Amino acid sequence: MWYAIMTQDVANSLAGRQANRSAHLQRLQELVEQGRLLIAGPHPAVDAQDPGDAGFTGSLIVADFESLEAAQAWADSDPYALHGVTRKVVVKPYKKVLP
């Protein structure tokens, strides 16, 4: 089943994101290779594709997991969560309707 993983960053998270981005993306790439990633990306802190020094306020990941518990465990072990970038994580079942 699909699960939406919605995160909120701590204030001034840009340096932490940059330091842990490679490991974060590697985990997402594993989901891609397994055919389990629907979408993933950050929320810019300002209304721009490249927010520059304003950074990001969190992320959205929608991926396929065996259960809510498995999705939560995956989210909790993300490098951003482990290294203080993320201050809040919400994981919910997601039903893809369109397209």
List the 86-94 sheet strands across, edge first.
37-44, 56-64, 2-9, 86-94
pLDDT at residue 87, as a whole number: 97
Residue 35's pLDDT band (boundaries 50, 70, 90)?
Answer: very high
pLDDT at residue 43, as a whole number: 97
Backbone angles phi, psi at 34, to 5 degrees: -90, 0
Three-class SS of residue 3?
A: strand
pLDDT at residue 40, as a whole number: 98
d(CA 88, CA 84): 10
* pLDDT (tens digit per residue) in 57-83: 999 999 999 999 999 999 999 999 999
